[in-house]
């Protein structure tokens, strides 16, 4: 099977490329230098040359706050770029995997969101990613839309690395306790994608590590697990605070918890608990190191 991966230099994309290569798939990694997804001709040319069986579209505009003023570019990447790749995928009969986000919901539900709940994005980032979903649903004849949340991994910047860095320098950290969700380790998400794209069980999926927590609870767990793994005591006090105390340009969903209805109803392997994923990440990051 031949796999084309966009966003291959990113946090998720690098783990997707590595895992699929380990499984002896022919993988074409594409980053922003090697493929401008906003160029429809370039997308078609690259896809027709490689003729993948599957395109896994990890590339995205993800600067959530900056998107509020950089509206054109957010839509150009997340909507137009996605359309260009879907059209190219259809030309060669490739399955299309689109990585989406919890930000397509407004976060006001008292329960976890399942795949067929109504979307209502509140930020430009969320609206542009939802626009990408609509284009995938409209134009692809064989698609997987995979919504995920609170992603972290060995490559690039993320909340876990930020907490560990701040924990070295600060005695007190204020962390938001009124937003809840499900942290997702990129390696676990890549394993789910590996299973999913080899099926014909098309549709929308919610894929995060199972369980839920607030950012405050996540931060506490990070220091507890990191201390246990490294035999190091983090002398940092984590204090819960409200979102209002840290105003941001883009609204964040208060509830990002996603139900894995499609995983269950399609008989697929659900992802492990977020705390287990965190332990695995920290073991790799703190013991073996990473960029």
Whether 143 sits among the annotated catalytic residues: the reply is no
Q: Which of 61, 125, 143, 216 is catalytic?
A: 125
Q: How far apart are CA 5 and CA 235, in angstroms?
A: 41
Lookup: tokens for 10: 């990113």
Question: For residue 280, what are the contacts with CB-CB under 8 A and spacing of at least 6?
Answer: 185, 187, 188
Q: How far apart are CA 85 and CA 13, in angstroms?
A: 16
- By annotation, the residues acting in catalysis are 125
């Amino acid at each position: 099977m031949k796999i084309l991966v966009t966003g291959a230099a990113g946090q998720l994309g690098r783990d997707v490329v590595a895992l699929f290569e380990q499984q002896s798939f022919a993988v074409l990694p594409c980053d922003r230098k090697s493929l401008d997804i906003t160029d429809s001709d370039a997308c078609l040319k690259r896809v027709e040359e490689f003729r993948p069986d599957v395109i896994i579209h990890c590339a995205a505009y993800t600067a959530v706050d900056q998107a509020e003023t950089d509206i054109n570019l957010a839509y150009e990447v997340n909507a137009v770029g996605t359309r260009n790749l879907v059209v190219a995928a259809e030309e060669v009969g490739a399955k299309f995997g689109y990585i989406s986000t919890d930000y397509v919901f407004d976060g006001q539900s008292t329960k976890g969101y399942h795949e067929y709940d109504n979307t209502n994005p509140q930020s430009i980032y969320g609206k542009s990613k939802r626009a990408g979903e609509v284009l995938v649903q409209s134009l692809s004849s064989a698609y997987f839309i995979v919504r995920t949340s609170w992603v972290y991994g060995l490559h690039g910047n993320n909340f876990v690395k930020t907490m560990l860095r701040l924990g070295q320098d600060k005695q007190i950290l204020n962390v938001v306790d009124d937003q809840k969700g499900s942290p997702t380790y990129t390696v676990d998400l890549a394993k789910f994608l590996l299973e999913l794209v080899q099926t014909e069980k098309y549709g929308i999926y919610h894929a995060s590590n199972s369980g839920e927590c607030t950012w405050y609870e996540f931060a506490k767990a990070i220091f507890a697990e990191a201390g246990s793994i490294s035999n190091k005591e983090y002398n940092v006090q984590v204090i819960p605070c409200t979102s209002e105390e840290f105003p941001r340009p883009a609204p964040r969903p208060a509830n990002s918890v996603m139900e894995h209805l499609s995983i269950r109803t399609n008989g697929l392997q659900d992802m492990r608990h977020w705390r287990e994923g965190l332990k695995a990440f920290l073991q790799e990051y703190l013991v073996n190191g990473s960029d």
